[in-house]
Amino acid sequence: MEPLTSKKKVLEQKPLTLAERLYLPAIGKGLAITFSHLFKKEATIRYPEEQREFSTNFRGLHSLKRDEEGKERCTACGLCALSCPAEAITMIAAERKPEEKDLYREEKYAAVYEINMLRCIFCGLCEEACPKEAIYLDGPIVPSDYLRKDFIYGKDKLVEAPLEKK
Amino acid sequence: MEISFVIEKFILVAILFGITLVIAMYSTYAERKVAAFLQDRLGPDRAGPFGMFQPLADGLKMFMKEEITPTNSSKWLFMVGPGLSMLTACIGTAVIPWGSDMTIGDRVIPLQVTDINVGVLYIFGVVSLGVYGVMIGGWASNNKYSLLSAIRAASQNISYEIAMGLSIIALLLFTGTMSLREISDQQHGWNWNVLYQPLGFIIFMICSFAETNRAPFDLPECETELIGGYHTEYSSMKLGFYLFSEYINMFVSATVMASLYFGGYNYPGMDWVLLQTGPIIGPLIGTVVFFMKIFAFIFFFMWVRWTIPRFRYDQLMHLGWKVLIPLAIANIIVTGVVIALVEKF
């Protein structure tokens, strides 16, 4: 059969020399190589004291954004919950009262907004689906915890950057 | 037999047992650290500074786990397997001379639990018994893969025992005595046996790798082929005994190699040091040097593990029977001829 490429490789199988048949010199060379690795720098990153750098597109913890006047953008439209493949987002909408005009941008807002971090797969589809540019996945890695219920992040807890004025 | 003799031996045995267990425990830690550094990574470094309490954490884990006995296994044999392994591992250290004689006051204390005049044969017998623990464990597990691995382990062990014995015969031709104390005394200063028996030493070292089921001869317990090998069905402390007895075996092999071939507690310049430091500290310095040699050998065991790939079963058998035994016999013949010629002239 014709060879598929024009590069032809001829395999030379010479019989082993005495030094090769002893195996001990080859083992000695191998030992020297392994020994030299003792003196090389380790590739380990000591987490959590050191951390790896993330790329600019890294998707971490969610945060619900505010606009320039400090009002919450999220209007509880539910598109993020609809697009979430893991069904991690739940919310309860509420009507804005007249005295809350500085808190929320539009008349509808999310009174309760919860993301279950154990369900979330950090795909970013909620960020793509949001029409108000309210949710972004720009936070750090979600830290570990002990109980399942502590992983349901509510509005006041860690989902938001709202409690600080941006 | 005076009571002071009994007390002295008892203290020696207790210290020796304690040191053996501690060294085996920290061998597990050293194995992980050395393996890590050879692979460009850090080993365990969270349990205490530099991870020094990792063996304690491992021991505690072993104790706390649940003991599972397979249903159709023979209960008595299942328990005896690891016990036998541990027993034969621990009694190997009884005849090794750990240092020259210590003189406290007017008592001369030999730093050796017992100096029988067939010391080498005793060690050899104990090493041969070690294979029983593995075989019984594999059989009693009622698991065909464990049995297969135990069969492999047994065949590997007895094949390499022969070459080990033959290489020791050449050494005995040279030293003329089987007592380990006298072999150590003959290697005073620079006079180490490895200079007279280099081939014998290499054969002995390869065989002790095989006897302790240590890579590259670790087919009985390789995780990639036989899950856990003969200790698959064991859990908690019985598994702990098997793993521990492997490290104790490694320690004993390193000790035997160091004392037979590398001079034991002898080092160049020891006479001067013994004069300077007196009869109590002097022998202890010899013991410290001995332990440094042992640690170097243990490091070598670990170094080789991460360098050489594992032998296939037929390659292993070929090496043991068709390469090492002829070499060992040739070694005996050459040694005998050389000794006869030297004595003639």
Segments of A13-142 assigned E as strands = 63-64, 89-95, 108-116, 135-136
CB pairs under 8 A between A and B: 35
Strand partners, A160: A64
CA distance B20 to B190: 27
Which residues of chain B lie closer than 8 angstroms to A34, CB-CB?
38, 303, 306-307
pLDDT of amino acid A166: 45
Cα B12 → chain centroid? 19
Which candidate from A31, A41, A43 shows the least CB-CB separation from B303?
A: A31
Which residues of chain A lie closer than 8 angstroms to B306, CB-CB?
34
Which residues of chain A lie closer than 8 angstroms to B202, CB-CB?
24
Spatial CB neighbours of A79, under 8 Å, sequence gap ≥ 6: A129, A130, A131
User: What confidence tier does A16 reach under pLDDT thresholds 50, 70, 90?
Assistant: confident
CATH architecture of A63-159: 2-Layer Sandwich (3.30)
pLDDT of amino acid A123: 94
pLDDT of amino acid B224: 55
Nearest chain A residue to B39 by CA distance is A37
pLDDT at A97 over 80: yes
Q: What burial letters (b/e) apply to B127-152, b meaning 16+ CB within 10 Å?
A: bbbbbbbbbbbbbbbbbebbbbbbbb
Nearest chain A residue to B305 by CA distance is A31
Which candidate from A38, A43, A46 shows the least CB-CB separation from B38?
A: A38
CA distance B250 to B20: 11
- Mean of the per-residue pLDDT values of chain A: 86
Cβ A85 vs Cβ A121: under 8 Å: yes
Q: Does B322 touch chain A (CB under 8 A)?
A: no
Which candidate from A30, A37, A46 shows the least CB-CB separation from B40?
A: A37
pLDDT in tens, chain B (345 residues): 788 888 888 998 999 999 999 999 999 999 999 999 999 998 888 888 888 999 999 989 988 988 888 888 888 888 898 999 999 999 988 899 988 888 887 778 888 888 888 989 999 899 889 888 888 888 888 888 888 888 888 899 999 999 999 999 999 998 888 899 889 888 887 888 888 889 999 999 999 999 888 878 887 766 556 566 777 888 888 888 888 998 999 999 999 999 999 988 888 888 888 888 877 888 888 899 999 999 999 999 999 999 988 888 888 899 989 999 999 999 999 999 999 999 888
pLDDT of amino acid B300: 94
pLDDT of amino acid B47: 86
Tokens of B63: 């104790």
Q: Does A35 touch chain B (CB under 8 A)?
A: yes
Q: Give the pairing of strands A108-116 and B102-104.
A: unpaired
Q: What burial letters (b/e) apply to A25-59, b meaning 16+ CB within 10 Å?
A: eeeeebbeebeeeeeeeeeeeeeeeeeeeeeeeeb
User: What confidence tier does A160 reach under pLDDT thresholds 50, 70, 90?
Assistant: low
Q: Nearest CA to CA, how far is B253 from chain A (Å)? A: 20
Nearest chain B residue to A46 by CA distance is B42
pLDDT of amino acid A161: 55
Which candidate from B36, B42, B307 shows the least CB-CB separation from A34?
A: B307
Which of these, A142, A163, A140, lies nearest to A151 by C-alpha position? A142
Which of these, B77, B206, B259, B54, lies nearest to B150 by C-alpha position? B77
Which comes out higher in pLDDT, residue A33 or B190? A33
| ipTM at complex level | 0.82
Which candidate from A37, A43, A46 shows the least CB-CB separation from B38?
A: A37
pLDDT at A163 over 60: no
Q: What is each CA distance from B199 to A32, B183, B261, in whole angstroms?
A: 21, 18, 11
Length of chain B in terms of residues written: 345
What domain range includes position B148? 3-344
The mean-pLDDT minimum among A66-70, A82-86, B58-62, B246-250 falls in A66-70
- Which of A37, A45, A47 best probes binding to B when mutated, by most B CB atoms within 10 angstroms? A37
Q: What is each CA distance from A161 to B116, B250, B291, in whole angstroms?
A: 79, 59, 61
Length of chain A in terms of residues written: 166
pLDDT of amino acid A85: 96
CB contact under 8 A, A34 and B37: no
Q: Does B5 touch chain A (CB under 8 A)?
A: no
pLDDT at A131 over 80: yes
Q: Nearest CA to CA, how far is A41 from chain B (Å)? A: 7
Tokens of B297: 């050998």
Q: Does B37 touch chain A (CB under 8 A)?
A: yes
Q: Does B191 touch chain A (CB under 8 A)?
A: no
Q: Nearest CA to CA, how far is A21 from chain B (Å)? A: 11
Q: Nearest CA to CA, how far is A32 from chain B (Å)? A: 9
Cβ B190 vs Cβ B268: under 8 Å: yes
CB contact under 8 A, A42 and B306: no
CA distance A38 to A31: 11
Domain boundary assignment for chain A: 63-159
Cβ B42 vs Cβ B36: under 8 Å: yes
Nearest chain A residue to B299 by CA distance is A35
Which candidate from A27, A38, A44 shows the least CB-CB separation from B308?
A: A27
Cβ A76 vs Cβ A113: under 8 Å: yes
Q: Nearest CA to CA, how far is B213 from chain A (Å)? A: 19
CB contact under 8 A, B38 and A24: no
Structural domains of chain B, count: 1
Q: What is the mean pLDDT of residues A117-132?
A: 93
